[in-house]
A and B are shown apart, each in its own frame.
Chain A
């Protein structure tokens, strides 16, 4: 009994979904739809800000998709349609914002951070290299080698002794 109601509820849901999409797919036209898809995937839905107009099921996204379809049918170019959206909703609708004085930081910031990171890395590496070179100045190297040779010679007879000394 329970499963029956569940199935019935599911069917109602599916029917409603199909109904919701019917109005959108009333004019299936492959060329228009593929252009629409390309455009809508780069436009932000302002009602649900982290979705594109292509993904969103918000009523406004639906209206805007229809608006884009109409404009495509009216022979307007992709950049015309993008301008139309920017005129109304601002640069924020574009997922790929244009380079402007207000968006310079957005475009240049990551590269600037990368440069700073590379600088810090280079500085650290150089410092470490200088530190290791310091530790092995020519006189100390000679002294160290002498010590090592001496210990090798002394340790030769018994390995126990060597272990103890190092």
Chain B
């Protein structure tokens, strides 16, 4: 029985350390999205560059595409922007922007300044579509398949790592 005096606390301690290690590796800001595997919510919005034109996710049926939520006031959008521009240059996938709670002229100016990787940007001035997509930390990026089902959601800026390890392989798989 004497050995229990040491092994029991030791095992409990190691268990605790295990929990801490796992807990520290996780990002509490990354909340699992309830949208994965569900149809992307429908909406109709005017386009950023032309308020007479409208856009809805149904327009992209049959294509694998990315919906990228951005705004001119969003600082971390600038971090991921060069990656999006590069993706657009290589024509990896059509990218649609969702200009979130922005002013039209600010958004247009921002794209003129930093480059426009988007096929088009939908203009969500009130942030209602943002709410429908559960957006809480701009930038966010949704990968949507040919059937209009959300397959992946990236919260926060796209990084070279997330692009390489998750997004590009997923797009390849969906296009196959």
The interface of chain A, by Cβ under 8 A from chain B, is 46-47, 49, 59-60, 63-64, 67, 86-90, 92
Q: Is B78 an interface residue (CB 8 A)?
A: no
Given known A-B contacts A47-B136, A47-B137, A59-B101, A64 and B31 have beta carbons under 8 A apart: no
Q: How far is the CA of A59 from the CA of B127 in the complex (A)?
A: 10
Minimum CB distance partner of B34 in chain A: A90
Minimum CB distance partner of A63 in chain B: B127
Q: Is B131 an interface residue (CB 8 A)?
A: yes
A60 touches B136 (CB 8 A): yes
A46 touches B31 (CB 8 A): yes
The interface of chain B, by Cβ under 8 A from chain A, is 28-29, 31-34, 101, 126-127, 131-134, 136-137
B131 touches A63 (CB 8 A): yes
Given known A-B contacts A63-B127, A87-B34, A88-B34, A49 and B29 have beta carbons under 8 A apart: yes
Q: How far is the CB of A139 from chain B (nearest CB, A)?
A: 26
11 contacts between A and B (CB under 8 A): A46-B31, A46-B136, A47-B136, A47-B137, A59-B127, A60-B127, A60-B136, A88-B132, A88-B134, A90-B33, A92-B32
Q: Which of A49, A60, A67 has the most CB of B within 10 A?
A: A60
Q: How far is the CA of A38 from the CA of B54 in the complex (A)?
A: 38
What residues on A are CB-neighbors of B33 within 8 Å?
Answer: 90
Given known A-B contacts A86-B34, A88-B132, A90-B33, A46 and B137 have beta carbons under 8 A apart: yes
A89 touches B127 (CB 8 A): no
Q: A63-B127, A89-B34 are in contact. List 17 more A-B contacts (CB 8 A).
A: A46-B31, A46-B137, A47-B136, A49-B29, A59-B101, A60-B127, A60-B136, A63-B126, A64-B131, A67-B131, A87-B34, A89-B134, A89-B136, A90-B31, A90-B33, A90-B34, A90-B134
Q: How far is the CA of A75 from the CA of B136 in the complex (A)?
A: 26
